[in-house]
Structure 1
Amino acid sequence: MTDQPPADTGATPEGPPQGTPMGPQMRVLVQYVRDLSFENPRAPDSLRIDGKPAIDMAVEMNARGRRDDLYEVELKLSVGATVENQPMFQIELVYGGVFQIAGVAEADMEPFLLIECPRYLFPFAREIISRASADGGFYPPFQLDPLDFAGIYNARKAQAAQLDQTTPAGEA
């Protein structure tokens, strides 16, 4: 061990120059439940049903800019469970967040808002749905599988593009 500083090798330090942004940056300023609904229409009989329920699920993502250069992103999840065409439960959740975003090109903002932001919100929304099903008497609680937000976004863009191609000229 020596007390001498390391020799200058002429190599430049790794990373961007000082003052240069390091790519996309996201700050979550607040998260919130806008709407939560839990229905157990056949309680308490629905709690004694044997068999594996059929699950119907819908996912919707929405984003909008605000006047204060922040973005609101909402994740809407609807989950319904039935056994032999008998409803067990229905859960609807709109979970949102307010985001501050920097370092994202304008062309990349929509996919960032509709993929990365919902990806961040999802674990919290998943926990709320699980807790609601447990509080409704269902054991084990319902657990949403992880969602592929990039796949959902790309599928919706492809669907929208296909609709645009099939719309006859002059109709809107």
Structure 2
Amino acid sequence: MGWLSRHSLAISSIVFLAASVLLAVVLGYAGLVAVSGLAAGTALASVLTELAVPYLPIVALLLVLVVVSGVVATWSALRRLSIPKSERFGTAAERIEQRYPVVDGFGISEFVSPPEPTTEEALADLKRRYVDGELDEAAFEHKLDRLVATESVDDVRAERERRAVLDESSNGSSR
């Protein structure tokens, strides 16, 4: 993670506040000039025309800075939130990403899916389930053989994805 991405929230917040204050000052000054011009009896159209030439590019630039820095600050803050992770959220996010490709670029499913267990964690969970009586000896040995046969976390992940695809295809054909 680079320096810029680590400090994006602080930088974008500072830019947002500075641009917002400058925008308020520029708009306030333009409003004062417009009101004083109207009080002096000048037509509103000529006052606005005289203000538009020097101030419109400045207002447009500040408005773009406010919007962009606000979006970046919001996105940076949301990325730092403690988001609950569960298989249900991960599956739902993956389905949304498949259905709407625009959302896929944000990688939401990676944020809400729990991390894949390591082989050691899977083995410890299997042992715990056997000791607690959730699995009988035959089921324990079968699952242990499958776990030992997979040599890495990538193999476990590939097996889960294969099962998910098979489950989806069997659910889709039964509808």
TM-score band by shorter chain is: under 0.3
Taking structure 1 as the reference length, the TM-score comes to 0.26
Taking structure 2 as the reference length, the TM-score comes to 0.26
Give 1 or 2 for the bigger CA radius of gyration.
2
**Would you tell me which structure has more strand in proportion to its own residues?**
1
